[in-house]
Structure 1
Amino acid sequence: MPPTRSSVVYRPFLGWAGRTNRARPQELPLSRIITTALPAHGHVSPLLAISADLAARGHEVVFLGGSRFAEAAGRAGVRFAALPAGADWDDRDLDASFPGRAELPPGPERIAFDVKHVFLDPVPHQYRALLGLLAEFPADAVVADAFVQGALPLALARPRAERPALLGVGITPAMLPSADTAPFGLALPPLPGEEGRIRNRSLQEEMDRRGEPLQRYAEKAFAEAGVRLPQGPRGLAQVTVPDVYLQLTVPGFEYPRSDAPASYRLIGALPGNVGEEQPLPEWWAEVSGERPVVVVTQGTLANDDLGELVAPTVRALAERDVLVVAATARPDGPQVLAELLGGRLPGNVRAAGYVPFDRLLPHTDVLVSNGGYGGVQTALRYGVPLVVAGASEDKPEVAARVQWAGVGLDLRTGRPAPEAVGRAVEQVLAEGRFRERARALGAEFAEYRPFDTIAELVGSL
């Protein structure tokens, strides 16, 4: 039986930076909350984790998402509502979901296609779905994946007193434009001083000029939702329109912005899938041995071709005195990897479809990754330095932040040569500065309590 609306829960107050302040408890009324995410695993996972935590605190939560995630919502303990067909697609095969995409080569053309059809075309459908859900479930707050841009019209169409609070959640590196950073997508680290500001301004002007057709397309999508998109570069509205924007990281892993709005807050990274029941492989005892452990993964999305990063890493380290764990994140991964390597794995390599990362990372000396935002930050929470090689989605930006933060090396490609991987892993293992900096960043992550911060904001807004 759901709690009554007059019930209260007691939680420690969280300062706006996200750190715990146990000086005084707060009485927080239980709320009705809608959470929503794009129908993609990497977007749904963090929003369902937030949903589960809010539900465990006694809030009534409805998750609005892709139809294939209905069971996942049930396991999270929340009610599920399906996005309409115009906003639902299958991230496991984007080319099938969006005809014409497969004909475009990776690069600017495909990025423009995705911005139009994956992110903008669904805006009016997402907005109407939210309005329909609010009509029968009058929520106090909407907590939205920042890429669900159909949530923005909730705040653009009505004054605050006439709508639920809107919280945006940044699950990729911050796209917020700033005088202190190069435009998102160029994977350029900050350049200090006036020289950097001049560079950034020039690059932003060029990006705005080239992005004019996409800006007009975005304005049309929001007009179809009955609202006007605020002026400014892409990435600005998703931060400035919500009542608060919660970036899932810490200052040590995000570029500083002296001109960030007050609504923009870094609240730490969500915990990994701690406690997931996954059987341990028979070779598990080896990860506690004397050899350094190097883990390589292409994550759960961009792992169709294990020849991009997993196979080159295995080739690079096959003759070295390390234990290589290839976490393929696909049930046929070990077999596919063996076939790529001529039929068998090298003697120092252990391959698995799925491994419990919360148990593997404490034994890991280096993680070789293609740059998934959540996976990289999970490694850093355990103080593990990285070698990153990513070329798709937001991965070049993640890789650039790894090198900027001093926690690893960016190979600046999505398909590195084995020799490049080998040299990078050897350098990270040999130079203690990477491990030292990763551990320091792990300590910084430990200072934050993102679930508590979100719960505090839901209750106070």
Structure 2
Amino acid sequence: MIFTSLASYGHLYPLLPLAVAARDAGHEVVFATAADFHPTLDKAGLEPAAAGISIQQAFREAFAGDPRARDEVSEEELNPIIGRAFGRTMPERFMRDLAPLIDQRRPDLVVYELANPGGLFAAHAAGVPAMCHGFGRVTVGGEAGAVIREPVAAFGAELGIAGDADFAWGRPFVDMCPPSVQDPEFLAGARRVPVRPVGWSEPGDLPPGVAGRDRGRPLVYLTLGTTPMSQAHLLSSAVQGLATLEADVLVATGPSVDVAALGEVPPNVRLAAWVPQSELLPHVDLVVHHGGSGTTMGAFAAGVPQLVLPQGADQFSNAEAVTAVGAGNQLLGDEVTTEAVRDHALRLLTDTAVRDVVRKLADEAAAMPSPADVAATLPQYA
């Protein structure tokens, strides 16, 4: 089997539990992505193969010769660039790189990540069955996703792939989103293969004192994910608000924030560049985050309330899903102030109705088939 995803934490990590389970079930598994993430695949015990380019490289190519920073480009100019990068540049490159790998290894099945349709396109060209693997909630026909969905659908049509791109062209879809928070239209129209939202983190120890701490004092986890964007100002506002609570605050600063930019923090706040998030979430009482799918799904599975501060992409629809089901709140744009973060966090730490909702979500996630269960069924899709 060949698994393939974009070279990004939020796109690659969700596929790792199933890829590892498939390997453990005795299948020969190759995971194809850009070389930047091959060390991650080595740590997971998976055979890496080189394919595609990173999202950052795709945008560097798109902006070649343009002296402006990305945040200086208007939305009207940026949207077509995003569409080309995700809808043409990266799929074409993955399709080209996967063709010789498929020819050499002759897989029975290609499992491609939702944002990497180049995996499907290469499998289609080679006459190999393919199935899609999601990374969170799917929004059918959403306005925000149209900028990518339309060029991807057009590319698929050029290749003679029949069906609706919104539903993975009728291919089986490994869906890790609990049904109660999934898009109802997607639930009704997709060939879903449910899988429990099991997180994956690179091996590492929890911060000292987390595992055996006194649960009488709340632990708040703050993260804005791994996307390379300037987040220090947002983190600072959130830290200042959370620090005033009678709680301990653990902040994962991520790869794009200079810890020094946050200045001196109060004694109840601890900063870490990285934490094993999937292992951490069951120990926390509130997650304050950007709305990335990995953190959103992980909090659902762990039964943790969420305060979402969405910044872009699917983060807004994730935040809306969290609030719609009663699992937390969201703050948008200028709403993100020190006072608002404090007030919303305090309410979520004490609201028993929210606690009831997140417990039900955790039970729902736990009842979904495990990656090992799904791995046992993969031959039927070949």
Same fold flag (TM > 0.5): yes
Using a 3 Å threshold, how does the CA distance of structure 1 residues 285 and 121 change in structure 2: closer, same or farther? closer
Corresponding residue of 2:300: 380
Question: Root-mean-square deviation (CA), in Å?
Answer: 3.0
1:300 to 226, 235, 249: 226
Corresponding residue of 1:185: 144
* Alpha carbons 2:300, 2:361 under 8 Å: kept: yes
Q: Deviations over 1:43-89 (max 9, x none)?
A: 12222332222112111111111011222222322322211xxx312
Corresponding residue of 2:366: 446
SS of residue matched to 2:207: coil
Q: Does 1:252 align with 2:180?
A: yes
Using a 3 Å threshold, how does the CA distance of structure 1 residues 258 and 304 change in structure 2: closer, same or farther? closer
Corresponding residue of 2:247: 322
Corresponding residue of 1:201: none
Q: Does 1:73 align with 2:41?
A: yes
* Alpha carbons 1:38, 1:145 under 8 Å: kept: yes
For 2:25 and 2:2, locate their aligned partners in 1 and report how far apart those are by CA, in whole Å: 15
Q: Which moved more, 1:131-140 or 1:240-249?
A: 240-249
SS of residue matched to 2:184: coil
For 1:387 and 1:346, locate their aligned partners in 2 and report how far apart those are by CA, in whole Å: 21
For 2:307 and 2:149, locate their aligned partners in 1 and report how far apart those are by CA, in whole Å: 33
TM-score normalised according to structure 1 size: 0.73
Using a 3 Å threshold, how does the CA distance of structure 1 residues 285 and 125 change in structure 2: closer, same or farther? closer
For 2:243 and 2:14, locate their aligned partners in 1 and report how far apart those are by CA, in whole Å: 35
Corresponding residue of 2:204: 277
For 1:184 and 1:376, locate their aligned partners in 2 and report how far apart those are by CA, in whole Å: 21
Q: Does 1:164 align with 2:148?
A: no
Q: Does 1:45 align with 2:9?
A: no
- Read off the aligned partner of 1:364 and give its amino acid letter: V
* Alpha carbons 2:149, 2:166 under 8 Å: kept: no
1:371 to 291, 296, 299: 291
1:311 to 219, 233, 236: 236
For 1:354 and 1:421, locate their aligned partners in 2 and report how far apart those are by CA, in whole Å: 22
Corresponding residue of 1:88: 53
Give me the identity figure in percent.
24
Q: Cα offset for 1:345?
A: 0.9
For 2:318 and 2:160, locate their aligned partners in 1 and report how far apart those are by CA, in whole Å: 31
Corresponding residue of 2:112: 144
SS of residue matched to 1:148: coil
Q: Deviations over 1:361-417 (max 9, x none)?
A: 333221111111111221222211011011212111111111012100021338711
Q: Deviations over 1:233-287 (max 9, x none)?
A: xxx41524253012221112213228733513443312343x8223634x64895
Q: Which moved more, 1:412-421 or 1:329-338?
A: 329-338
2:83 to 115, 118, 132: 115
Q: Cα offset for 1:229?
A: 5.5
Using a 3 Å threshold, how does the CA distance of structure 1 residues 79 and 320 change in structure 2: closer, same or farther? closer
For 1:379 and 1:403, locate their aligned partners in 2 and report how far apart those are by CA, in whole Å: 13
Using a 3 Å threshold, how does the CA distance of structure 1 residues 318 and 47 change in structure 2: closer, same or farther? closer
Q: Does 1:396 align with 2:316?
A: yes
For 1:445 and 1:319, locate their aligned partners in 2 and report how far apart those are by CA, in whole Å: 33
Corresponding residue of 1:176: 140
Using a 3 Å threshold, how does the CA distance of structure 1 residues 97 and 230 change in structure 2: closer, same or farther? same
Normalized per residue, the structure richer in helix is: 2
Q: Cα offset for 1:103?
A: 6.0
For 1:326 and 1:34, locate their aligned partners in 2 and report how far apart those are by CA, in whole Å: 36
Q: Deviations over 1:319-339 (max 9, x none)?
A: 33222221213497543322x
* Alpha carbons 2:110, 2:130 under 8 Å: kept: yes
For 1:426 and 1:259, locate their aligned partners in 2 and report how far apart those are by CA, in whole Å: 34
**Which aligned pairs between 1:351-366 and structure 2 lie closer than 5 A?**
351-366=271-286
- Read off the aligned partner of 2:245 and give its amino acid letter: R
| Alignment: residue pair count | 377
Q: Cα offset for 1:297?
A: 0.9
